[in-house]
Amino acid sequence: MNPTYDALNDLINTKLELNMEIDKEKIQHIPWEDNSIVDSLAKSVHSKRLDLRLIEDPPL
């Protein structure tokens, strides 16, 4: 078979599988004011402090 065709066929099949999974999920917007844990993580990444941290009791 043609390797390019096989790769494209695999990609299309993966996309179709992902589409079916997405249909099962519900996306809900949570304002950053109501989610301090994600806000803290986003600020860490934005400030490029990428050291490893263990968060035992996340701030609420």
User: Please, are residues 37 and 57 in contact by the beta-carbon 8 Å criterion?
Assistant: no
The predicted model scores a pTM of: 0.36
φ, ψ dihedrals at 2, nearest 5°: -85, 120
pLDDT value at residue 11? 93
pLDDT of residue 24: 73
Q: pLDDT tens for the chain, 60 residues: list them.
A: 688 888 999 999 999 998 888 777 677 888 878 888 888 877 777 666 556 677 777 666
Hey, what amino acid is at 5?
Answer: Y
Q: How far apart are CA 50 and CA 21, in angstroms?
A: 31
pLDDT for the residue numbered 36: 83
